[in-house]
Structure 1
Amino acid sequence: MALGQRPRRRAREEPEREGPPDAPADPESVARTICLNLLTGRARTRAELATELARRDVADEVAVAVLDRLEEVRLLDDSAFAEQWVDSRHRHRGLGRRALSQELRHKGVDTEVANAALDELDPESERAKAAELVRRRLPSLDRVEPQAAARRLVGMLARKGYGAGLAYDVVRTEMAARGAELEGDVPDDDAL
């Protein structure tokens, strides 16, 4: 080998396949591979996998059989997914109950399973996360009139899925800690 040349790589040998070269693959094997590849990246719900299998034209009976087997071997568990999703999205993104509920519904998680996962979200933890979000945003609103700043902060919390009462209470408390007093009552949900 001459200086500066790269060594040649050996070609990978393809495993021998049974049957004719153009034979279609077993539908269950194809469906299983699709699901396992999707589950490799992150946990998914049964509904997400079913949607992807339907998109790839996997027969319904094959999809049901593969999904049932994945649940049987505990590679697919909507309850565990919902608990993990709620914990992660609340802790890292600061989302409140309403936003988390909407996301779980969008992912196809059953309402009862979603509610059970959301019940694990401690109200004190939710309040603390809302206060943390407000404290992080407050310095950027120092030059804004207090009422306008409060509206912005309450709006931010509402978009993150916090209820109006909790949002306004947290904003009022955090702004008071910085010396700003707010006038007026808690805005109703329509104002958000």
Structure 2
Amino acid sequence: MQPADTAKHEQTSSADGSDESYGRALQVAFRFMNFRSRSVDEVRKRIGREYSEPVTQRVLEALAGYGYLDDAAFAVAWRDARNRRGPRGVALLRRELRQKGLQADVIDAALEQVDEDVNAYRAGARRAERWLQADGITAGEFRTKMWGFLQRRGFSSGVCRDTVERLRMDFAGGPDD
């Protein structure tokens, strides 16, 4: 059953006014989730702006029952999508998922598979090649720029340190070029 069919089916289940509100709220939720997957909290906030708490709760339960709302699957999909576009550290991914309203245990489960060393290297490799081939960049300037670049992407200091040195060795050919 398609989301629109589900909403129509649910809306016609009763002639009572609360079922009509429920049907409209369900349609709003489907439209909201049409662009990208959403967390339970995001849908709750969106529906809660226009509809009562009982209607909002009923919509959330229905969407979860249909398999459209699953915070654990959302967290994994978010992590994978963000790392595909531009690798990020665990700290930044954790902050983004917290902003989406996910619980700490769901976030921890989604992020336990993240390899920060690999992500940091992938994130820095494109920049390193460009910066190290630029005329006049010193080893100190490279370290400073790359460290800031990686930290802004949520990587820990230890990962930044190791990655900066590894990138310098790989792209510049030596420890103090």
Task: State the TM-score bracket (shorter-chain normalisation).
Answer: 0.7 to 0.9
Q: How many residues align?
A: 157
Among the aligned pairs, what percent are the same residue? Answer: 27
Other-structure match for 1:74: 67
Residue 26 of structure 2, aligned match among 20, 32, 39:
32
Structure 2 residue runs without a partner (length 5+): 1-11
**Separation (CA, whole Å) in 2 of partners of 1:129 and 1:27:** 46
* Aligned-partner SS, 1:72: helix
Q: Which consecutive aligned stretches of 4+ in structure 1 deviate over 4 angstroms post-superposition?
A: none
The residue that corresponds to 2:45 in the other structure is 51
SS at match of 1:36: helix
Structure 1 alignment gaps of length 5 or more: 1-17, 183-192
- Rounded Cα–Cα distance in structure 2 between residues aligned with 1:24 and 1:104: 33
Work out whether residues 146 and 180 of structure 1, in 8 Å CA contact, stay in contact via their aligned partners in 2: no
TM, length-normalised to structure 1:
0.76
Report the counterpart of residue 4 of structure 2 in structure 1. none
- Name the structure 2 match of 1:117: 110
Three-state SS of the structure 1 residue aligned to 2:23 is: helix
Match of 2:147 in 1: 154
What is the root-mean-square deviation of aligned Cα atoms in Å? 2.0
1:24/1:76 CA distance change after superposition, 3 Å:
closer
2:86 to 89, 93, 113: 93
Deviations 1:50-102 (A, max 9, x none): 111122x2101100011011111111111100011111112222111110000
Please identify the structure whose Cα radius of gyration is greater. Answer: 1
